[in-house]
Structure 1
Amino acid sequence: MTRANGASSPLPADRALLLTRAAEHALRAGLPDHAAHLLQPLRAATAPSPARGRAALVHGMLALRTGPVADARASLLLAARLLDDDGDHERAIRARLGAAEACWAMGDAAAYREVLGPGPSGGGLLERFLRAMTAVVGGPGPDFGGGLRELRRVVELAADEDDPELLVPAGSASLVLGDLTAAGELGGRALAVARAHGLTTVVPRALEVLAYAELRLGRHVSARAHAEEGVRAARQAGESNVLAHHHAVLALVASLDDDAEAVAALAAAADATAVRHGLAQARTLTQWALARADLARGRAPDAAARLRPLVRTGPRGGHFALRMMAVPCFVEAALSSDTDREEAAAEAVEALAGYAVWAGLGPDPQAAAQLLRCRALVAAAGGDDDAAEAHFGQALDRHEDLDGEFERARTALQYGQWLRRQRRPGPAREALRDARVAFERCGAGVWAGQAEAALRATGAVSAAAGAAASAAGAAGGSGAAGPEPPSVLERLTPQQLRIARQVAEGATNREVARLLSVSPRTVDHHLRNVFVALGVRSRVELSRLVARADEGER
């Protein structure tokens, strides 16, 4: 097949098209290695024109699913040009959709718009989807409203569609619009049809739409189930990039209940591919998951350090479609950290300015309630107690009209902790019990533990502790009592004990310093010694230990 000068000889047109069709079938069947093998005889310089564009399309889709997405973008743009030249406009549109998907995975909004230009003409679902996304990606602009209307039309058209390759982008349109119920329905239909027709490569992408919809609705158990199924499907289809996204979703779900090591393991599994293949979306999700795990365990400074880059724009910022979703966690982490309070408040206010605009566009049903919670935290940090209470109340009222137990529980937790610092133990207990029960209902065990620790710090005794005490009292109702075991807190010096109790009640290092008339550096020094003396690693663990010790003394 080679000439003496080393150049490849042209392939006959019928053989080139045969190989290309076979590669397309192998790709759809989830056999990427076989598809790549079938394309080896085809070289851009020697393949006849009708096959060149289709071969470039297969190469690009292979890279999009299994390789660096920047390479996929280049291959798919080449395929679109070649296919347009051949008059194959339907495949050219699919190539542009793939190139846009690569830009999305890269987190490059400008490249996304550049790939699509003004968008293709025509009234089909894909053409409408691409035109609409050109208008809305990157935020409000002159065509933003028209783009949202076009996306809604895409979702309407999908009602009569049964092609899963079209239902998946329609589901993505619903996610952008914040119509999460429609996203779940479209993802479910795409999944059912793909399975019925043996479209192996569509299954993990349909499951990805479902997992994202459930995640944003706060249905974390369902999100975990879909993502775990997505992991299996992506492995079967040999799609490493989709596999990374499913691992990232699992990491975010695990931050509710699993131990920190499990979250880190899932994040590492996603990052192993995300870093190598340039998957900014998956990378942003894993960092958000690790930060949320830090928050759940009382490690606010670590959480703030992870989230600070994610909520900023620029090449080192978070993914443009996820940046705003991480803002509420960042605000909580920044204002809970033992850093300069004025600087933390300024960072929070700056992040909230953009978040308020985004929330007003309606892309996330939970955003309005989360915005009010964040405003309450900012007001509390600034000492404006009236505004803090008003914002907390408004946020909880908003949550009542929404699905999503987890975010409502987080607002109740923050409100209860604020009430406790206001020395209002009765209302604090009510809010914290509500938070604990809500966390337990949605499977957020780690967060439920945080609510329980805060509840005990108000002097309340948990149901489990009360039952244990009653049982012990019944068993020991007769006979002499044994010697009282020494309290673990006796290991501390008087100053360390004072600091430990204040921190267990939710005070920051700066608040303790003001109360005891010492420097924050002194408080930090004593608190480190307290952690060593008591064998705890976080403020949450310290709060639990102090509560248990106090119960034992009563």
Structure 2
Amino acid sequence: MRTARRFLGAAGAACGATGATLATGLAEGLACADRTAGAATAAVMLAEAARAAWYAGDGDLARDVAHRLNTLTATPSPLARTLTCLTDLLRGEPAAGVPRIRALIQSARRSPPADPRLALVVASVGLATPDHRASYDLAVALVTTCRTRGLVGSLPGALLVRARAQTFLGHHRQAESTAVEGLHLARDSGQRHTAGHLTCLLAWLAAVSGDPSRRTAPQGHPHDDAVGAALLNWARPDPAATAFHRFDAWAVQTGRPTPEALAHRCRALLLPPGSPDDDRQGHFEAALRAHGLDPQAYEQARTELVYGRWLRRTRRKRAARELLRAARERFEHLGARPWARRAAGEPSPARTGSPVPRDLLTAQERQVTRLASRGVSNRDIAAQLFLSPRTVGNHLYNAFRKLGITSRRDLGVLLGHDTP
């Protein structure tokens, strides 16, 4: 039992390690737990392992851990069944048990788990469903418990969940303060993985605020490549569509309004140029209705911004002004100054003729869009560049998607040219 408890402590610390260290260290500890620990102790270890695998993005390890937890006793516990559902979400598989996750969260709100490690797992699960208010309440209670009982090892993880919940709920300044405290504690206790998540959260908050004096991710951090790849994929249509399919499946599984709103917003943005206006508007309107059921200021303002800008491009200026004003006010309340300026239209690339970033379009797409912005037809562009008209059309289609525009007129304004 003493050996098992030693591995129990190691399992908690492993949540701050990298994915490889996590998988190796936990595998040894879990084998020990199965042999020598009581069911309750082993359940805590396995729950810690599942949470660590979730944060490491290791779906296979998460599945294996959940399977062990399910077979620990003759009748799987509610926690075991919940973690199975959680690993299904991580692996992108249908999760019919999402209601089971919600039931566990609500039970924990009424009667928080006595073991802080289990409380941290449940609070983290709330972010994945995503019940941000429940996660916030559970994390606040857990932070208080950790401070009262001197549980320094569990405190960084609890602060991470609280900071994330605060961010989702639109409390950006409080989230920054929470994340800074958690980052100091995670670094001091050697929890590198937790420190990495907190650093990335602070970088995101700094980017949204537009304040260069605030924290950003340090150079050379192992998360940098992943974040950079995500940003590049977001600007390119094919990876964006692939990512959306997975997101949409998750949104349907959660059955919550905010994921539904984001899914509708994505559908509106991913419609190809030339799609009927009614289709695009229908998705935007559905997104606004869903936001009204579960207001989250940042995401609601993002929807109002993109919808308002689309309405402005389609000459429905009065409706556009109302949405853009609402978006600006929400962004200003959040302290998201760059977004507020975009909503106010001061200044934006479409109004100043600023150059399109070079890494956004391929070299040939830049050639095609430059000629198209001057009113050159597809056939003439093809002749000048020794391409087929179909290839020219494909390049324009890809460029429109990347630039978030729907017509040659928009392209002309964006690049500083007038088109007929």
Question: What is the TM-score of this pair, normalised by structure 1?
Answer: 0.58
- CA shift at 1:195, angstroms? 0.9
Structure 1: runs of 5+ lacking an equivalent: 1-49, 292-302, 309-329, 335-343, 460-498, 523-538, 547-554
Match of 1:432 in 2: 324
Tell me which of 227, 244, 248 is aligned to 1:352. Answer: 244
Percent identity at matched positions? Answer: 29
Alignment CA distance shift 1:350-1:73 (3 Å): closer
Q: Deviations over 1:17-53 (max 9, x none)?
A: xxxxxxxxxxxxxxxxxxxxxxxxxxxxxxxxx5444
Distance 2:340 2:350 in 1: 16
Pairing of 1:178-197 with structure 2 (within 5 A): 178-197=130-149
- CA shift at 1:200, angstroms? 1.3
Match of 1:417 in 2: 309
1:154 aligns with 2:110: no
Q: Deviations over 1:494-516 (max 9, x none)?
A: xxxxx93999xxxx976774352
Match of 1:391 in 2: 283
> Do 1:63 and 1:69's aligned partners in 2 also have CA atoms closer than 8 Å?
no
Match of 1:241 in 2: 193
- CA shift at 1:186, angstroms? 0.6
> Do 2:66 and 2:80's aligned partners in 1 also have CA atoms closer than 8 Å?
no
Distance 1:53 1:107 in 2: 26
> Do 2:126 and 2:134's aligned partners in 1 also have CA atoms closer than 8 Å?
yes
Tell me which of 244, 259, 268 is aligned to 1:367. Answer: 259
Pairing of 1:452-491 with structure 2 (within 5 A): 452-453=344-345
Alignment CA distance shift 1:181-1:234 (3 Å): same
Alignment CA distance shift 1:347-1:61 (3 Å): closer
- CA shift at 1:356, angstroms? 2.5
Distance 2:201 2:350 in 1: 35
> Do 1:429 and 1:458's aligned partners in 2 also have CA atoms closer than 8 Å?
no
* Amino acid in structure 2 at the alignment position of 1:452: A
Match of 1:401 in 2: 293
Alignment CA distance shift 1:404-1:157 (3 Å): closer
- CA shift at 1:184, angstroms? 0.8
- CA shift at 1:363, angstroms? 6.5
Q: Deviations over 1:268-311 (max 9, x none)?
A: 26x63xx2xxxx7x975x448xx7xxxxxxxxxxx4x2xx2xxx
> Do 2:54 and 2:87's aligned partners in 1 also have CA atoms closer than 8 Å?
no
- CA shift at 1:450, angstroms? 1.8
- CA shift at 1:458, angstroms? 10
Tell me which of 69, 92, 96 is aligned to 1:145. Answer: 96
Aligned length: 371
Tell me which of 151, 155, 162 is aligned to 1:210. Answer: 162
Tell me which of 40, 65, 75 is aligned to 2:25. Answer: 75
- CA shift at 1:168, angstroms? 1.1
Alignment CA distance shift 1:88-1:452 (3 Å): same
Bigger shift: residues 219-228 or 200-209: 219-228
Bigger shift: residues 93-102 or 241-250: 93-102
1:174 aligns with 2:27: no
* Amino acid in structure 1 at the alignment position of 2:104: V
Match of 1:201 in 2: 153
Q: Deviations over 1:402-442 (max 9, x none)?
A: 32122222222212322332244443333323322221122
Alignment CA distance shift 1:383-1:365 (3 Å): closer
How large is the RMSD of aligned CA atoms in angstroms? 3.7
Distance 1:63 1:354 in 2: 28
Match of 1:115 in 2: 65
Distance 2:261 2:187 in 1: 38
Match of 1:500 in 2: 353
Match of 1:232 in 2: 184
Tell me which of 98, 102, 107 is aligned to 2:48. Answer: 98
Alignment CA distance shift 1:455-1:180 (3 Å): same
Where 1:267 maps in the other structure, the secondary structure is: coil
Structure 2: runs of 5+ lacking an equivalent: 357-364, 386-409
Match of 1:164 in 2: 116
